[in-house]
């Protein structure tokens, strides 16, 4: 078939066609073409169209299996020819299946005896193409309709995937919201719990503070009790200390009492003699009476040992006064020693040492000589004097026991030296109290444990193991000081308590 | 390769061995992708890694995994919206295979990064045919074996597929002999 080159797109008007295609080629490249002859009947159709519309060949223009729906009103061949000259768009549709639609152009044949429709299928989805009985091979390779079918499929798949992704996103969002809600709820609960914990913590903290205060009070009481206990333990010794002066004061008072009786008798003898002398004796009898008085006085004076009385009485009075002073000083020392004062104050540690030595005298008196070497320029130390007294007492009593362990009942005496001195340094430096003895000494393996609570080397009943432990706590914890110890078995020990002046 | 391929691998592993196995495959492959997007291209290495990891996790030779995947691919792509397309590709195996190149070319409009293989058919008889397979990718012959078997099954045929020529043996492409066992 030859078509009019003037009406063939892409050809130059008026030029003769360079190529004329045979029917086979036309069928291959236009499997959906169609041609009407002058009678208005289909005289030629592409192979796919023939397959899709088996009765298309020979069918009329009007009421045939394929209808021209655009342009409208084409009823005769002349209408077709006219349309081919003017209309560009032509649409055909299957009479029995409106899904079969073709879109293309009308082209008159070169001899004007026929009009040819060149078109393509209008189908937008694979399902319709399948329903129409098409296969991919029905579409020429250049036909974009097949591409559109695949693109439409890909688009549908894409949309499905987008929906899936959206759904997934929504699910994730929901999960996220749920998790956020859950976390918010959980946080809220946690906050409530935290608030509750905070209250409980506050309560616990208050209880702990109360317990701490209670414990401090108990510790304070305990320290005081220990000090009083130490005083109590010393009571027997102190009583002995007091008893001695009281004893000789009593003896002296009894002597003075007796002497006073003698003096009274002597005075009475004098009084008799004076009365007899004032009576102016004239008679022999009266003179004899006077002589008797003289003799009585002499005897009385002799009996009363007035020389002795006059010589001893002042001494007895002096000794008694000294004895009372001693008792008084011991009582004063006891009061100072056991002072339950818990406050810190500036304290003269020399005085603390002497006081303690007075109180403890009975502990060392029989076994050791106490030598004191007290620094006269010792600065006062801010401390709790009662506690420091207890420390010195512990060291002195321990020293006495250490010496006693050496001398026993031999009558020999060791030496306890108590020294104080000022160690200059920042913030006033330190004050050192050294208690040194010539006692039994300690082995090297014992030294690290001496400050442990309940550690003692003394025989059962002689020590509780609390003394040094308490002393250590008082010095280090409560006064930020130190206790230095050196000891040699068989030679003695030395304890040096160092307290910061500003403690 | 496009995400659709990776999704098919995921679908195969998940359906046959469960989601835990797939999670392990992904982990082993070092692939941290929550969901493969079908229309999005991924590096070939992702697919190769997934197949390699699946081979390790499932304790199967990689060839076997690829073959299974080739068979599965046919069912999967049909199920995932391309069933009609497959239907449209012909009513017998030779026609179907001959259409593959055309389909792939047309699909490029939708998958612009597609690097499809080429398949031509020769020596078609009632009992067998020869498939010539050309691809830029290496090592996918077992996949093609599975694919051809599944394609034959589409048309109710049971086929035995053997590799008759291979690039490994110095040829410029792979050749497969498809022999119908039910001929």
Tens digit of pLDDT for each residue in A343-402? Answer: 788 889 998 899 888 888 888 888 999 999 999 999 999 998 888 888 898 899 889 989
DSSP track, A343-365: S-EEE-HHHHHHHHHHHTHHHHT
At residue A47, does pLDDT exceed 80? yes
Interchain proximity A153–B88, CB inside 8 Å = no
Interchain proximity A154–B110, CB inside 8 Å = yes
Give the tens place of pLDDT for each residue, A424-462.
988 889 999 999 999 999 988 888 888 876 666 665 445
Interchain proximity A141–B102, CB inside 8 Å = yes
Cβ atoms of B80 and A157 within 8 Å: the answer is yes
Burial class (CB in 10 A: 0-12, 13-18, 19+), B113: exposed
Dihedral, CA atoms, A144, A147, A149, A154, nearest 10 degrees? -150
A372 membership: H or E segment, kind and range: strand A368-373
Residue A50's Cα: distance from chain center in Å?
A: 93
Chain B window 39-68: which residues touch A at a Cβ cutoff of 8 Å? Answer: 39
Q: What is the pLDDT of residue A489?
A: 92
**Which strands, in side-by-side order, build the sheet including B159-165?**
B118-122, B128-134, B174-180, B159-165
Q: What is the pLDDT of residue A291?
A: 87
What share of chain B has pLDDT > 90, as a percent?
Answer: 60
Mutate to test the interface with A, among B6, B82, B83, B84 (most CBs of A within 10 A): B84
At residue A321, does pLDDT exceed 80? yes
Interchain proximity B37–A146, CB inside 8 Å = no
At residue A55, does pLDDT exceed 90? yes
pTM for the full predicted model: 0.51
Give the tens place of pLDDT for each residue, A60-116.
998 899 999 888 889 999 999 999 988 678 999 999 998 999 999 999 988 889 999
At residue A485, does pLDDT exceed 60? yes
Q: What is the pLDDT of residue B128?
A: 95
Which is nearest to A420 in space by CA: A502, A321, A503, A354?
A354
Interface contact B109, partner A, CB < 8 A: yes
Q: What is the mean pLDDT of chain A?
A: 84
C-alpha to C-alpha distance for A482 and A57, rounded to whole angstroms: 128
Interface contact B89, partner A, CB < 8 A: yes
Mean pLDDT to the nearest integer, B55-79? 90
Cβ atoms of A242 and A234 within 8 Å: the answer is no
C-alpha to C-alpha distance for B164 and B122, rounded to whole angstroms: 13
Give the tens place of pLDDT for each residue, B113-159.
889 999 999 999 999 999 999 998 888 999 999 999 999 999 999 99
Tokens of A109: 């044949």
For residue B161, name the pLDDT band (cuts at 50, 70, 90): very high
Q: What is the mean pLDDT of chain B?
A: 91
3-state secondary structure of B130: strand
The question of ipTM being above 0.95 is answered as no
Q: Which residues contact A209 (CB under 8 A, 6 or more apart)?
A: none
Please report residues of B whose CB lies closer than 8 A to that of A135.
Answer: 88-91, 95
Tokens of A474: 């008082």
At residue B70, does pLDDT exceed 90? yes
Q: What is the pLDDT of residue A12?
A: 46
Q: What is the pLDDT of residue A462?
A: 55
At residue A473, does pLDDT exceed 90? no
Mean pLDDT to the nearest integer, B69-96? 89
Mean pLDDT to the nearest integer, B84-103? 90
For residue A10, name the pLDDT band (cuts at 50, 70, 90): very low
At residue A237, does pLDDT exceed 80? no
Interchain proximity A153–B82, CB inside 8 Å = yes
Q: What is the pLDDT of residue A3?
A: 58
């Amino acid at each position: 078939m030859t078509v009019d080159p003037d009406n063939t797109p892409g050809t130059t008007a008026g030029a003769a066609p360079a190529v004329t295609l045979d029917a086979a080629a036309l069928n291959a490249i236009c499997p959906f073409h169609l041609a009407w002859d002058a009678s208005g009947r289909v005289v030629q159709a592409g192979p796919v169209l023939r397959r899709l519309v088996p009765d298309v060949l020979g069918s009329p223009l009007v009421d045939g299996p394929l209808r021209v729906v655009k342009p409208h009103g084409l009823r005769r061949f002349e209408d077709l020819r006219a349309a081919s000259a003017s209309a560009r768009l032509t649409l055909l549709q299957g009479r029995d299946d409106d899904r079969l639609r073709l879109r293309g152009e009308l082209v008159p044949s070169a001899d004007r005896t026929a009009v040819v429709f060149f078109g393509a299928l209008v189908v937008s989805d694979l399902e319709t193409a399948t329903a129409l009985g098409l296969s991919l091979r029905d579409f020429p390779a250049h036909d974009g309709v097949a591409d559109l079918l695949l693109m439409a499929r890909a688009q549908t798949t894409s949309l499905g995937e987008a929906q899936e992704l959206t759904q997934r996103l929504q699910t994730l969002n929901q999960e996220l919201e749920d998790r956020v809600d859950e976390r918010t709820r959980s946080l809220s609960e946690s906050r409530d719990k935290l608030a509750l914990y905070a209250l409980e913590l506050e309560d616990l903290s208050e209880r702990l503070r109360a317990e701490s205060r209670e414990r401090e009070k108990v510790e304070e009481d305990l320290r005081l009790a220990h000090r009083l206990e130490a005083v109590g333990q010393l009571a027997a010794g102190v009583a002995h200390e007091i008893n001695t002066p009281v004893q000789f004061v009593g003896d002296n008072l009894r002597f003075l009492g007796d002497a006073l009786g003698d003096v009274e008798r002597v005075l009475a003898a004098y009084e008799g003699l004076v009365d007899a002398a004032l009576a102016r004796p004239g008679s022999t009898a009266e003179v004899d009476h006077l002589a008797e008085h003289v003799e009585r006085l002499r005897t009385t004076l002799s009996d009363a040992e007035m020389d002795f009385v006059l010589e001893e009485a002042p001494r007895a009075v002096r000794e008694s006064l000294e004895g009372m002073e001693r008792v008084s000083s011991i009582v004063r020392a006891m009061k100072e020693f056991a002072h339950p004062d818990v406050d810190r104050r500036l304290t003269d540690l020399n005085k603390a040492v002497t006081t303690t030595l007075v109180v403890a005298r009975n502990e060392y008196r029989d076994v050791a000589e106490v030598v004191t070497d007290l620094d006269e320029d010792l600065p006062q130390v801010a401390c709790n004097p009662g506690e420091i007294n207890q420390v010195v007492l512990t060291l002195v009593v321990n020293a006495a026991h250490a010496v006693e362990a050496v001398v026993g009942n031999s009558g020999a005496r060791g030496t306890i030296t108590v020294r104080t001195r000022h160690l200059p340094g920042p913030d006033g430096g330190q004050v050192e109290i050294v208690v040194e003895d010539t006692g039994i000494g300690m082995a090297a393996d014992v030294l690290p444990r001496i400050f442990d609570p309940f550690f003692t080397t003394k025989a059962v009943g002689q020590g509780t193991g609390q003394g040094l432990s308490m002393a250590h706590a008082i010095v280090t914890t409560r006064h930020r000081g130190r206790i230095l110890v050196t000891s040699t078995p068989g030679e003695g020990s030395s304890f040096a308590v160092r307290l910061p002046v500003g403690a | 390769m496009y995400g659709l391929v990776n999704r098919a691998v995921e679908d195969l592993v998940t359906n046959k061995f469960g989601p835990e196995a797939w999670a392990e495959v992904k982990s082993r492959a070092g692939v941290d992708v929550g969901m493969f997007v079908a229309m999005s291209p991924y590096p070939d290495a992702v697919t190769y890694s997934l197949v390699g990891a699946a081979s390790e996790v499932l304790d199967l030779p990689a060839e076997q995994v690829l073959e299974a995947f080739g068979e599965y691919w046919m069912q999967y792509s049909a199920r995932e919206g391309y069933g009609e397309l497959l239907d449209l590709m012909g009513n017998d195996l030779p026609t179907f295979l001959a259409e593959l190149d055309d389909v792939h070319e047309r699909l490029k409009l939708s998958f612009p990064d597609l690097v499809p293989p080429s398949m031509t058919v020769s020596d078609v008889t009632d009992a067998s045919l020869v498939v010539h397979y050309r691809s830029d990718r290496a090592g996918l012959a077992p996949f093609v074996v599975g694919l051809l078997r599944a394609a034959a099954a589409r048309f109710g045929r049971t086929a035995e597929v053997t590799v008759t020529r291979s690039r490994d043996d110095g040829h410029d492409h792979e050749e497969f002999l498809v022999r119908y066992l039910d001929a």
